[in-house]
Each structure stands twice: as structure tokens, then as C-alpha cells.
Amino acid sequence: MSAQDHYDTLSLQDSTILAETFRLLGDPSRLRILFYCLNEPKSVGDIAEQLDLSQTLVSHHLRLLRGARLVIGERRSRQVFYALADDHVRDMLKDMVVHIKEEEF
Amino acid sequence: MSAQDHYDTLSLQDSTILAETFRLLGDPSRLRILFYCLNEPKSVGDIAEQLDLSQTLVSHHLRLLRGARLVIGERRSRQVFYALADDHVRDMLKDMVVHIKEEEF
DNA sequence: TTAATATATGAATACATATTCATAAGTTAA
DNA sequence: TTAACTTATGAATATGTATTCATATATTAA
């Protein structure tokens, strides 16, 4: 993106794409899943157990996150390990936490 | 936030707060409103006209955004001008666009 | 005051979605 | 093969929410 590009007009299409990502981040369970997988891949069962969510629910959420390319899954024998899709997603999440924590409530 | 703090565990409370913000950003109309007000305050009627949204709908969305302290409104005689609440919100939105645009789809 | 303009609010509706339950599908061990 | 383990999927439900309509509130002009 060049320096002269501006952000103040968001096309209908761009806003829809961007909103879709935000919408997926707008659920506490999904956010916790993403942050739990932030640094290293985690298995579905591990996620469910550590975050105290049902295995079924975790699977459903992971499917949505996969569809938006926020995570990728890799099968290792019986288990499937999920990780953030790339560093952009990782940095984005870290940035968001910084921004949120900087707000005084 | 100090350097030794980590991001990989998001408490239930933190995830709820963070998700609430993301959820609000996860709507195309609200996103467009926020970006339209990114650089200078805009009146409700101006927003509605330029984004082709009903005045009522814009008001409803602005109320939600106000509630989350993402925007602030200032009355100038008959009109009310809305602006982003602070630079954190502004930077956050700009960062997100950069991240999204960097993804190759 | 009344009229006109600008914004906000409450109710109603239609649609989306988070969660649970039951069960299927994939993988490994016996 | 069967059995155990792990993950995914489809249906059902209950809750949430974006949008519209009608109307109220606030401000200014006449």
C-alpha cells in the first residue's frame, strides 16, 4: 500500500470483507481459541480441555476460522493440530490486544 | 504492557471485552461509518447520505459505537458530529486495513 | 407560539448464529 | 476384522441483532 493511499473511504466490498474477519473475531470462544493457538499448534482436544469448551463447539468454531483462513489444521495421526494461518493474523491479534489494553476504562 | 507479558492466554473476561469490540467492528455498515469519520467529524445526516444508509439506522449504529467508546458525538446547533473516540481506535482501524490488504486472497 | 430541521428511541420483524445433541468419519491398536 | 480414540458434521434450538417504521426529542427560524 503506497503512502498516498487513504483509509477514509471504505468501499462496500472492502467493508464486507473486513467486517467478515472482525465478525469472526467478535466471539469470546473463537478469540480464546485463536490466542491459545497463537504461539504453537494445538490439538482440538487440547483446546477444548484447556478452554473448557465442548469438543463439538471447538470443531464448529475451527471450521469457521479455517474458512476465513485465520487458522490452518494439520493432521498428525489421530489428532489435528491447529495454528494461526500466518504472521499477519498473529501480529494483528497482538496489535489489537495492545490497543485494547491501552484504552482506559 | 511490559515486555515479559504474553498474549497466549486470554482470560475469559479479557476475551469477552475484546470480542465485544470486534463484534461491533464486524458489521459492514458500522465499519463504513467508522472509516467515514476517521479523519474528521461528520454529522449524522452526512453519514447517512454519503453511505446510503437510513438516518435511523445510522443513529442506531452510532449509539452502539458510542456505548463502546469507539466514537464520541458533539452537538453543533441542530446537528451532531461524530468522530473516532481517540487515536487508539484510529490506529487500530488503520492497522487492521493494512493487515487485511496484506493478505493475499 | 408554530413550523421546520436534525437526531434519537421503542417496537416489531426477519435473519443470523452460538451452542448442544446425536452421530458420522478418519486413524491407530489389538 | 473389531474396538478405542479423535475430530467433523447435520439438525435443532434458543438467543442475538441488523433493519425498518413510526414517533419522540432537541434545536433553530419565523
Q: For residue range B47-96, list pLDDT tens digits in order.
A: 999 999 999 999 999 999 999 999 999 999 999 999 999 998 898 888 87
Q: Is the pLDDT of residue B14 over 60?
A: yes
| Contact list, A72 vs chain B (CB under 8 Å) | none
* CATH number where B29 lies: 1.10.10.10
How many domains does one find in chain B?
A: 1
Cβ of B1 within 8 Å of Cβ of A101? The answer is: yes
- pLDDT at position B103, please? 62
Identify whether A5 is part of a domain: no
Nucleotide nearest to A59 (CA to C1'): D8
Identify whether A80 is part of a domain: yes
Identify whether A43 is part of a domain: yes
Identify whether B5 is part of a domain: no
B21 is written with which cell numbers? 469490540
What band does A64 get if pLDDT is binned at 50, 70 and 90? very high
Q: What is the 3-state secondary structure (H, E, C) of chain B?
A: CCCCCCCCCCCHHHHHHHHHHHHHHCCHHHHHHHHHCCCCCEEHHHHHHHHCCCHHHHHHHHHHHHHCCCEEEEEECCEEEEEECCHHHHHHHHHHHHHHHHCCC
Q: Which residue range is the domain that position B57 belongs to? A: 12-102
Identify whether B60 is part of a domain: yes
Identify whether B67 is part of a domain: yes
Nucleotides of C under 7 A from a protein CB: 5-11, 17-23, 26-28
Q: Is the pLDDT of residue A28 over 70?
A: yes
As a whole number of angstroms, the distance between CA A94 and CA A98 comes to 6
Residue B75's SS3 state is strand
Identify whether A55 is part of a domain: yes
Identify whether A7 is part of a domain: no
